[in-house]
Amino acid sequence: MRKSQRITCVAAAVLSALALTACGDKQPQGGAMPPPEVGVVTVTPTTVSVINELPGRLEGVRTAEVRARVAGIVLSRNYREGGEVKAGQLLFKIDPAPYQAQLESARASLARAEANAVAARQKAERYKPLVAVNAVSKQEYDEAVAAAGQAAADIASAKAAVTTAQINLGYTAVTAPIGGRVGRALVTEGALVGSGEATKLATVEQVDPIWVTFTQPASEVMKLQRAIGSGQVKGVDGGARVHLFIEDGREYEQTGKLLFSDMTVDPTTGAITLRAQFANPRRELLSGTFVRVKIEQGVDENALTVPQRALVRTAQGASVLVVGGDGKVASLPVTAPQAVGENWIVTAGLKGGEKVIVEGLQKVKVGAPAKAVPFAAPAAAPVAAPAAAPVTAASEPAAQPASAGASAPAAVAAEADGKAAGKADKQAGAKQG
């Protein structure tokens, strides 16, 4: 009888454990999981600048090639290569001796012509009263007048020769035609220059201010003009502003201004050439450097933007996930061709008022419900990363009551089984005694 009592106790304990386990298994099925929380931003029209990023190249405002205008031997170079020079500053000196001799010869020819002119003029003046009384023939008088005129012409020719000789002598001192930065010397002392051609000696370039020339697709220019004409985009007061980014990606501290845009389209590229001007007081910008420019060509006062982290790009295109009025997640294809700061400008796909998911994209799927909460400000964005741990863990604690419920009955059953076995052993020992 005692044996049957022991078996009955053990069976009762096992049935109790199974009942509790069954109740624990049914507990998570009875309550539905709450929808996951996601951070959203409501799309609202905002004012943004219409900015285009384009490649460009730096050019000096003025560039002058210094050439030898007379032939001769270079005697000296009178500037520091790569330094700053002023307009009219002496750069090279060519041997002036031959041209000094030509000037002296021209001056002597002028003096001879002037002396001959005096004699011819006086002779004509003497013949004038004599021809009136037939003391000299009319022909002799005419010849004297012609000789005086020819002597005057010789004087003019001699003066021109003197001027030419003076100019050539002046060309032996090669000066800077403009102020700016002068490059390396292309000739050295002792070189023969200007023989048969105007030898290039150096280059002077004005780089303060400096130009940046860049191109923009004609389609973009016409689209912007139409938007400004329709009032969709507002023109920039005072002209378009240009920001310059040099090769290392750093933005230049000075802001440039747009000077002009070409009136014709390049048939080979379909682009329009534009030019902007930047101040370059420290000569930091070097001519010939390839750069990138961002040009503010207008202001869109009703632009729709979404944070960059909210945009999903796939092979099929760009899209965003939104929480609809029914509380379910939907995917909307969008067109976002340009980024401004930390946002994408959406030109198609959104109308405004949509709740775009920014945080928690990995927790939702299209068609499933989600709880929308306002997304924290960008300043609080670094704190959002640790929040992933509680969110991930939240799905596991929901299943923990089931496992906890299962382990508790097992422990109760084990304890009951142990007590029953101990009691049975004691009774068996007493009987044997």
What is the average per-residue pLDDT within 229-240?
A: 66
What pLDDT, on a 0 to 100 scale, did the predictor assign at position 16? 53
Confidence class for position 372, pLDDT limits 50, 70, 90: confident
Between strands 37-42 and 371-374, the pairing is parallel
Q: How far is 243 from 254, CA to CA, in rounded Å?
A: 8
Instruction: Answer for the pair 220, 347: CB distance below 8 angstroms, yes or no.
Output: no
- 141: its two tokens: 């008088």
Instruction: Specify whether domain 96-171 bears CATH 1.10.287.470.
Output: yes
Instruction: Answer for the pair 321, 368: CB distance below 8 angstroms, yes or no.
Output: no
Q: Which residue has the higher pLDDT, 300 or 67?
A: 67
N-term to C-term CA, the chain:
18
Angle, helices 2-30 vs 400-432, to 10°: value is 180
User: pLDDT tens digit string along 131-153?
Assistant: 888 888 999 989 999 999 999 99
Does pTM surpass 0.75? no
Confidence class for position 31, pLDDT limits 50, 70, 90: low
> From the CA atom positions of the chain, what is the Rg in Å?
49
User: Burial level of 396, CB count in 10 A (0-12/13-18/19+)?
Assistant: exposed
Alpha-carbon distances of 254 from 244, 278, 282, 352, rounded to whole Å: 8, 7, 11, 36
What is the average per-residue pLDDT within 37-42?
A: 87
Enumerate residues 6+ apart whose C-beta is below 8 A from 242.
Answer: 212, 255, 256, 257, 258, 276, 278, 293, 294, 295, 296
What pLDDT, on a 0 to 100 scale, did the predictor assign at position 122? 93
Identify which of 178, 182, 174, 165 has the alpha carbon closest to the alpha carbon of residue 74. Answer: 174
Confidence class for position 237, pLDDT limits 50, 70, 90: low
- 53: its two tokens: 């990023």
**Percent of the chain scored above 70 by pLDDT?**
77
What pLDDT, on a 0 to 100 scale, did the predictor assign at position 312? 86
Angle, helices 138-171 vs 97-132, to 10°: value is 160
What is the average per-residue pLDDT within 373-377?
A: 78
Q: Which residue has the higher pLDDT, 96 or 231?
A: 96
Number of neighbours of residue 196 by Cβ within 10 angstroms: 6
The CATH number of 304-385 is 2.40.420.20
